[in-house]
Each structure stands twice: as structure tokens, then as C-alpha cells.
Chains A and B, each alone.
Chain A
Amino acid sequence: MAAYSAEVFVVLKPLVNDPEGLVIRDALRTIGFNEVRAVRSGKYLTIELDADDQDEAEERLTEMCDKLLANPVIEEYRFTVHGVAVKA
């Protein structure tokens, strides 16, 4: 077993309306950031986990996303994971 650290991003699918993102976009324009074309909002999670190797860590994270962290009806996800040294 080794220690891994993951960053998970969950966002609404491109075709799903994101009213929160629209309001943030409008607010940015209101305060002068007229160059903003689009904003999508989402969730960011960090997960510390143990796994035998990188492949297993990725496999388990995929399961976590499919089963709980994202709702496949409206959301999609991506993550990065890397090994970390654990302090003794």
C-alpha cells in the first residue's frame, strides 16, 4: 500500500444549463471584466487515499465518482492523482 492524493473536479455537462455560472459571468462583466465569454461553476474535492499502485488508485477514484461524487445524469468529472510521501 502507498499513499495517494487526488484532486477531483465535478462540473455540469456542457448541455446542462448552469444558472450559477451565468450569474457569475454577468457579475464579472458588471465589475468591468467584459472579456469574459462564459463561466461554468462546479465542485472541487481533494481526496487522500491508500492504494497498491497508481492504476488501482485511478480505478477506485473512478468508482467513487460514478457511485457518489458525480451524478451522471447532469454532471461529468475528471481527476488527477499522484503518490505522496506519508510522514512516519
Chain B
Amino acid sequence: MASFGIVVFPGTWSDRDCYFAVHDRLRQEARFIWHKERDLSGLDCVILPGGFSYGDYLRSGAIARMSPVMEEVSEFAERGGYVIGICNGFQVLCESHLLPGALMRNSSLEFRCQQQWLRVETSDTAFTSETAKGRLLRLPVSHGEGNYYADPDTLADLESGNRVVFRYATADGDISDEANPNGSLHNIAGIVNETGNVLGMMPHPERASESLLGSDDGLAIFQSIIKNSERVVAHG
């Protein structure tokens, strides 16, 4: 059993979907955390869900970063707690400097809402241990600003450190421009921090949590977190 905290900012819209995935589908403990709260006690994993926190004013994620809860999330991450930022949550993590780089306007200038193939680039993370390297996951994307950018040195660090976790791929698993919905450098869809306990990803695993929704491929990501949380407790 793992305990999930789902952060809710004004404008967050995927919080209920995250709750459904971890609580209803996977029978884990979950609670909502309003952005003004500071209590993260007892949690194994903090989820920063998708949405438009603070209306995306200034830059997506820029204002949410200043919320009281984010100070606690930073400390939680420093202590080794699992943090997963999905879509707007990924943007918040970049703005908070918990992850490198930035998410810019899609190169098409269009909001992209579609099913997307992702290739798992490493199963050597707490978020993908229940998948396999090279496996394709079908998850929806739904964003206007998912165009991952980082300077060349940062990109090289991410690649050499095996920290690119997901890339946009074709149905055959090819990494190509055609498969890239937003112009992200290196087709990057998700990355982890240096210590591997903070993941940011643009696609929505919580919206692929049962076959009725078109795919339940997203569950593997939450199942990985659960497995690894239990391992931490067992060793603790």
C-alpha cells in the first residue's frame, strides 16, 4: 500500500482523474492537498496533476511554483520522496527547478489533444520499473505548451545520465518528427531528476487507467511507484 497526495491548485483539472487511477483502480490511499496546505506527512508520492494552474498566467507553472505547498514539495523531494508532475505538473516542476529545462509553446501553435505512443527509454527508475525498456505505452496528451527545451549541455546530461524516461514514438516505436506532437527536443516526453525520485511527463497516465478509456497503459507507472514505495518501507 502506498499513500498518494494529489496537489490541487486553482485551475487544476486532472486531480479527480489521478484520484480515480490510484484510489479507485489501484486501491491505494490518496488525499487531495490544497495548494495553501503544507502537510505532506505520511505520503510516499506527491502528484502534481494537469490543468491550468492560475490560468497559466505569466508562464504555465510560474505562479503555482510560489504556492506554500511547493516549498514543502521541494523539501519532500530533497528527502527522497517520489514526485510525479503530469502535464501542467511537469511545467510546475521545471519552473520550480526540481527538473531542468522548460516547456514552451507547441511548435504547431496548436493545442494537441490526442492519443500518443510513448517509448519507455529506461525501466531503471521508480516510475517505470514495472514496464520494460523499449515498451510502447498508449497515453493521451492534452496540452498547448509541451515543447520541451533545454540548452545543449543540459540535454547532453539528460541523455548521458539515462534520465530521458519517455519519448514520443510512432506505433512502430520509431522516434521521428512525425511522432512528435509538440516540437520537443529529442522527442522528450518525460524526464527524471538526477536522484531519480522526481518525474515530469507531458502525457496523462491517469487518463489511461482502464480499457474503457481506450487504454490502461498508464497504470504501469503508478504500479511502479507503489512497488517502489513498498520497497522503501520494507528497507526502512
Verify A74–B58 contact, CB threshold 8 A. no
The 9 A-B pairs at the shortest CB distance, nearest first, are namely A73-B102, A74-B102, A19-B107, A19-B109, A71-B102, A71-B59, A74-B149, A19-B105, A23-B109
On whether the beta carbons of B62 and A73 are closer than 8 Å, the reply is no
**CA gap between A23 and B108 in the complex, in Å:** 10
Q: How far is the CA of A17 from the CA of B105 in the complex (A)?
A: 10
Given A71-B102, A73-B102, A74-B104, CB of A16 within 8 Å of CB of B62 = no
Residue pair B109, A71 in contact (C-beta under 8 Å): no
The answer to the question of B150 belonging to the interface, with a C-beta cut-off of 8 Å to chain A, is yes
Q: How far is the CA of A73 from the CA of B100 in the complex (A)?
A: 9
Give the secondary structure class of B's interface.
loop
Check if A73 sits within 8 Å of B151, measured CB to CB: yes
Q: Interface size (A, Cβ < 8 Å)?
A: 11
From B66, B101, B150, B183, A68 is in contact (CB under 8 Å) with B66
Task: Return the chain A residue nearest B108 by Cβ.
Answer: A19
Q: Kindly name the residue among A16, A19, A43, A73 whose own CB sees the greatest number of chain B CB atoms within 10 A.
A: A73
In whole angstroms, how far apart are the Cα atoms of A17 and B58 in the complex? 19
Is A7 engaged at the interface, CB distance under 8 Å to the other chain? no
B-chain residues with CB within 8 Å of residue A49 when the two chains form the complex: none
Check if A68 sits within 8 Å of B62, measured CB to CB: yes
Contact of B183 among A19, A20, A43 (CB under 8 A): A19
Per-position binary interface string of chain A over residues 43-76, scored 1 when its CB falls under 8 Å from any chain B CB and 0 otherwise: 1000000000000000000000000110101100
CA of A32 to CA of B82 in the docked complex: distance in angstroms? 54
